[in-house]
């Protein structure tokens, strides 16, 4: 039953979601500045979304006969609030591109359930990217 290609793709997505959880929570704890309170709340809210993504991915990986990774991708740390938001936007844009590739893979491999799950996650990642783009455009003034 296990489709090795799909399990590998979902584990790559999971590693990136684990990174996102940690990166957003670090930004939640470390952000400072007059404009930070609303953004700090957004960091925490987004981390919670990423936790749900990581959980869905793990459940699907197990269902497909794989073992969910516990290792996150590389976490971006440090800098001022603007750098944190830029790092998060960059991570969201990478995730969006990767989810699109993995959605195609699921279609090619005949796994509509994984494809639909990834499409749902993709939609939320696009919302996150939109939030950070909005925050950055507000900060440019």
Q: Which of 73, 72, 85 is nearest to 31 (CA)?
A: 85
- 141 pLDDT tier (thresholds 50, 70, 90): very low
Provide the CATH number for the domain around residue 89: 1.20.1260.10
Give the range of the structural domain holding residue 44, as residue numbers without chain letter. Answer: 4-139
- 29 pLDDT tier (thresholds 50, 70, 90): confident
The mean per-residue pLDDT over the stretch 73-98 comes to: 93
Q: Which of 17, 76, 84, 93 is nearest to 50 (CA)?
A: 17
Question: Could you give the residue ranges of the DSSP H alpha helices within the chain?
Answer: 4-30, 36-63, 81-108, 112-139
The total of structural domains in the chain comes to: 1
Average pLDDT over the chain reads 93
Residue 38 has pLDDT above 90, yes or no: no
């Amino acid at each position: 039953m296990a489709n090795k290609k799909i399990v590998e793709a979902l584990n790559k997505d999971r590693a990136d979601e684990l990174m996102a959880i940690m990166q957003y929570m670090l930004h939640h704890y470390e952000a400072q500045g007059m404009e930070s309170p609303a953004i700090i709340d957004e960091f925490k809210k987004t981390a919670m979304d990423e936790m749900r993504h990581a959980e869905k991915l793990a459940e699907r990986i197990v269902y497909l006969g794989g073992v969910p990774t516990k290792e996150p991708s590389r976490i971006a740390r440090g800098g001022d609030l603007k750098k944190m938001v830029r790092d998060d936007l960059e991570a969201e844009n990478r995730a969006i591109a990767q989810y699109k590739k993995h959605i195609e893979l699921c279609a090619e491999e005949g796994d509509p359930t994984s494809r639909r799950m990834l499409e749902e996650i993709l939609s939320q990642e696009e919302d996150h990217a939109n939030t950070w783009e909005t925050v950055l455009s507000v900060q440019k003034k």
